[in-house]
Amino acid sequence: MTKSVGRLVSVLYRRNQVYLDAALKEYNLTASELAFIISLYKKDGISQEELSTRLAIDKAATANALRSLENKGYVSRTRNPRDRRANIIIITEYARRMEKGVRKQLRNWTNFLTEDIEEESVQTMFEVLEKMAKKVESIELCKKLGGHDE
C-alpha cells in the first residue's frame, strides 16, 4: 500500500477540528475561527484582505469568520481611512483577556500529538511540513499568475 500524505494530513485536520471545537467551546470559539484569532494575536490592525492572504483562505470565508468573531466580541472591523472599501481588523480587549486560555488549548493539542515523539523528530516534522506548505503556496501563486507547470 502506498503512503498518502494527503490522507494523513486530512485525518489530522479532521481530528484537530473536532478536538479544538470541544476545547474552545468555553471561549465561544470554533476551530475554524482559531486561525484568524491566532494570526490577529500576532499582528492586528491589518486589512481583511491581508488576513485572508496571510492565511490562504478565500475572501468570503474570511468575511464570514470575521463577522462571527465580531458578533462574539473578539474583533472589531473599521473602515480603512486610506481605502474606504477595505476593513481594518482590530482585536478587542475581550479577545486579549481570552488569549492565554485560547493559546493553552492549542498548545495542549500540539503537546498531545507530539508527546511520544523525540524532540528532534518533532522539529524535523515541522521543517518538512513547512517546506511542503511553501511548495503548495508557490503552486498557488503560479496558478494566479497564469503559468503553472504540472
Q: Give the model's pLDDT for residue 129.
A: 92
User: Has residue 137 been placed in a domain?
Assistant: no
Contact yes or no for 55/36 (Cβ under 8 A) = yes
- Annotate 72-131 with DSSP letters as a single string: TTSEEEEEETTEEEEEEEEE-HHHHHHHHHHHHHHHHHHHHHHTTS-HHHHHHHHHHHHH
Q: Average pLDDT per run of 10 along the chain, which is 150 residues long?
A: 85 95 97 95 92 90 96 92 85 97 96 96 95 82 55
- How many of the other CB atoms lie within 10 Å of CB of 37? 24
pTM listed for this prediction: 0.80
In a domain, 15, yes or no: yes
Which range of residues forms the domain containing residue 11? Answer: 5-116
Residue 150 lies in a domain: no
Tally of structural domains, the chain: 1
Alpha carbon of residue 103 to chain centroid: 13
Residue 143: what pLDDT?
Answer: 63
Give a yes or no: residue 125 inside a domain. Answer: no
Note whether residue 85 is domain-resident: yes
Q: What is the pLDDT, as a whole number, of residue 146? A: 58
At residue 46, the 3 state secondary structure works out as strand
Asked if residue 124 belongs to a domain, the reply is: no
Residue 45's CATH number = 1.10.10.10
pLDDT at site 107: 95
Indicate whether 129 belongs to any domain. no
The reply to whether 47 falls in a domain is yes
